[in-house]
A = this chain, B = another copy of it.
Amino acid sequence: MFDPAQKSFANPASNAPSTSHSANVIPINSHNIKIACSNCNLRELCMPLGLNREELDQIDTVVNMRRKVKKGSLLFHNGDKFTSLYAIRIGFFKSFVASEDGHEQVTGFQMAGEVLGLDGIASDSHTCNAIALEDSEVCLMPFDRIEELSRDIPSMQRHVHKIMSREIVRENGIMLLLGSMRAEERLAAFLLNLVDRLHARGFSQSELVLRMTREEIGSYLGLKLETVSRAFSKFAEDGLVEVDKRNIRILRSDLLREMISRPECD
């Protein structure tokens, strides 16, 4: 059934190096050129394509630090001064905003190759929080440097714009979900989205390990954790997915997809 050894079931971070490196900030210098962007297998996710050698060398100067973020600790939080964007190298994050009364709204889940911190540009300080849901590692990309490079390399500039626009489009989709879908439709959309993104990273199309709690899923989807739990049970009962705690196997993605394209009867 679920085989943790296989890549097919793995999560982007399942092969996270568990080095016993004590520092969690790793300067990047000429000695370990190997971990430059130009050699990174996530480059196609973080950086523009079709660069020449010279431009690649420039790109390598964007990331000047890496930072390990232990499971459960904050990458940044509301009010922090904004200086850098963060490209996730390894791991999994949630980002969330908090209302004055303390309610926590998850605004997204981010995985390897995705960028965190875009919220900070507007006011030079972060307006949301990002927390690692498993031991993670991010590349720090000082925003000043990104802007400099964008001025020199048009494809870099376009890339930055696309990343931001993509986030706007993603949030439009969430608004549609929150504004019009029922509980089970929301969960179906959520699972399909997650598994698509994992698949784009080389993982299974049908199996995934949830890195977040039912409560966090609920917050993201505008539901209570009990409702999420019930929806999972319903899916399992109907044979749409197999649910074993946080291990999910999608059996009928076709039917899940139908749920979200044709809400209910109609």
Contact = CB atoms under 8 A, between A and B. Distances in A.
Interface of A: 97, 99-101, 103, 105, 107, 118-123, 127-128, 147, 150-151, 154, 157-158, 160-162, 164-169, 171-176, 178-180, 219-222, 260-263, 266
A260 B158 CA distance: 38
A160 B121 CA distance: 10
A253 B221 CA distance: 30
Contacts of A176: 97, 99, 103, 105, 107
Contacts of A172: 97, 105, 107, 119, 127-128, 171
A166 B13 CA distance: 31
Nearest to A82: B165
Question: Is chain A's interface secondary structure helix, strand, loop, or mixed overall?
Answer: helix
Contacts of A151: 150-151, 154, 157
B179 A222 contact: yes
A192 B170 CA distance: 26
Contact of A168 (B122, B220, B260): B122
A167 B165 CA distance: 9
Nearest to A222: B179
Closest 7 A/B residue pairs (Cβ): A121-B165, A171-B171, A178-B178, A122-B165, A179-B222, A100-B261, A105-B176
Contacts of A260: 99
A257 to B, nearest CB: 10
Given A101-B262, A171-B172, 15 more contacts: A99-B260, A105-B172, A105-B175, A105-B180, A107-B176, A121-B161, A121-B165, A127-B172, A147-B161, A151-B151, A160-B161, A167-B168, A171-B171, A171-B175, A178-B178
Contacts of A164: 118, 121, 161, 164-165, 168
A21 B122 CA distance: 38
Contact of A154 (B105, B147, B171): B147
A171 B180 CA distance: 16
A123 B161 CA distance: 11
A105 to B, nearest CB: 4
Given A105-B175, A122-B168, A150-B157, A99 B162 contact: no
Contacts of A263: 99, 101, 103
B119 A169 contact: yes
